[in-house]
Amino acid sequence: MLRALLISIFLGLSACGGNQPAQVITGSTMGTTYTIKTTDSSVSKLQIEQVLDQVNKTFSTWDPESELSLLNLKPTDQWIDVSNELFFVLNQSKKVYQQTQGYFDPGIGRLIDVWGFGVTKVVQKPSRIKVNELLPLSSIRYLQLNNGQVKKTKDVHINLSAIAKGFGVDQVARLFKKHQVKNFLVEVGGEVIASGKQHDQHWMLGIERPNNAEPIAMVLNNQAIATSGNYRNYFVWEGERYMHILTPSNGLPANTDLTSVSVLNQQTMMADAYATAMMAMGSEKATELAKRLNLSVVLILNQQQDFKVVKINL
């Protein structure tokens, strides 16, 4: 699902003050950009991009030869061997699907495509009749997992764009840790994980506000953060403004009282998935979920031309 860049990394202000790090690496991946900041030069740009390229080859819905794209073409009722990485992310996706009562559902790939949020660009948005036709083929509950194999009980198409980018961030973080690098910050398309410090100060970033007010400062203490929002990336349908996130239960674009959701977690992929689900469910259910799972969350509510910031477990 399309995600606006709503996190400002304070590249100029760096981390709560102090000097610039020894190394800043930037590039392009997964249809977006990445930024790496570190005080250690042990990991090269080539090594980083090899990790990100592998993530793309596994999870991209834009690449018809990716492992996920090929899985979507496989027949139903047949056990299929998948890579450890794909099995892991699918397994975590089913976990979040259950935790969020279906608000996070990567099994809606066909619906994402028909709305034009995926690879296929559409001139005209679908009718409600068309959406209802695709609903019976649109849920990850029709995907079974067992010992490194998966089986589709219906011809579902999986789209992991709301969790795979976060997984990519985590994979780069693992690369740094493998090389005993303790102090780094990894950002891919607004999803961020930070480790250690920069010049004895914790890493800092800002959550953008929709009214151009001062960003909400967040200090990351060996944490990841992901933000989902609708004030940069939206469209108008049937006279109403909607975000590029679907409500899986009815296949329609979500239209809630939330302008953005930021979730902190030890894993970027989980923060990514929870943020998407919370945007779809609205502030009341998002608050309940955050309290039930003990998630650290920043909600920005749209309240009649004004915006209210709600912090939970922070």
Range in 18-22, 30-34, 160-164 with the lowest mean pLDDT: 18-22
Q: Two tokens at 235? A: 């469209």
56-152 maps to CATH 3.20.20.60:
no
**Residue 32 class from Cβ within 10 Å (0-12 exposed, 13-18 middle, 19+ buried)?**
middle
Q: Which of 213, 228, 272, 192 is nearest to 9 (CA)?
A: 192
Give me the residue spans of the domains in the chain.
56-152
What is the residue-averaged pLDDT of the chain?
88
* Length of the chain, in residues: 314
Q: What is the pLDDT of residues 103-117, one digit of tens each?
A: 999 999 999 999 988
pTM, entire model: 0.91
Q: Is 159 exposed, middle or buried (0-12, 13-18, 19+ CB in 10 A)?
A: buried
In the prediction, which pLDDT does 232 show? 54
Share of the chain above pLDDT 90, in %: 71
| Rounded CA separation 157/129 (Å) | 19
- Decide: 282 and 290 in contact? Cβ < 8 Å: no
220-232 pLDDT tens trace: 999 999 998 875 5
